[in-house]
Amino acid sequence: MLQFLCKTYEELTVDEVHAFFALRAEVFVVEQNCVYQDIDGKDTAALHIMGYDNNTLVAYSRILPLGLTYPSYLAIGRIVIAETHRLQNQGHELVAFSIQKAKEHFPDTPIKISAQSHLVSFYNTHGFQSEGEGYLEDGIPHIAMTLPLE
């Protein structure tokens, strides 16, 4: 089981910022061979979810407030698990914790994600529903998914 933290940008240490940028680059840029602009100016407004295994960052997501990415939704994005920690249900832990924190910080606000298409059934288990047609995002098939309000 991972130890999770949720911090605003102002609460982050330099080491934490370095660790999550390194993890995001390791998976999205190197492993998935996806060249994209990771530093997009949104991290300063985000809540950062960090999952640690023995003081090593192995899971990360960010929660973006209503209107920053989608006009009518808050967004959970940059959802990533280190390759060494996949297939251990830690992705489910990360998504569940991210949803919990999103609901705590932004009550009564619907959530939207841009999911890699091969992960639709994974996100379905957390209540997300596909919306619209699939699309390419940075050369990788994606689909919009929303989490209805309870």
Give me the domains of the chain, ranges plus CATH numbers.
Answer: 3-109 (3.40.630.30)
pLDDT digits (tens, 9 = 90+) for 13-52: 999 999 999 999 999 887 887 777 778 999 999 999 999 9
- pLDDT cut 90: percent of the chain above it: 82
Highest averaged pLDDT of the listed ranges 15-19, 133-137, 146-150: 15-19
- pLDDT cut 70: percent of the chain above it: 100
Cα atoms in the Cβ-side hemisphere of radius 13 Å centred on 38: 20
Model confidence at 89: pLDDT above 90: no
Greatest alpha-carbon span in the chain: 40
Res 150: pLDDT: 74
Mean pLDDT for 111-116 is 96
* Edge-to-edge order in the sheet of strand 56-64: 3-8, 47-53, 56-64, 74-81, 111-116, 140-147, 129-137
**CA–CA separation, 43 and 138 (whole Å):** 19
More confident residue, 126 or 148: 126
Mean pLDDT for 131-147 is 93
**CA–CA separation, 114 and 117 (whole Å):** 9
Res 72: pLDDT: 94
What are the tokens at 127? 């209540």
| Residues present in the chain in total | 150
Beta strand 47-53 pairing with 3-8: antiparallel
DSSP label of 2: -
More confident residue, 31 or 69: 69
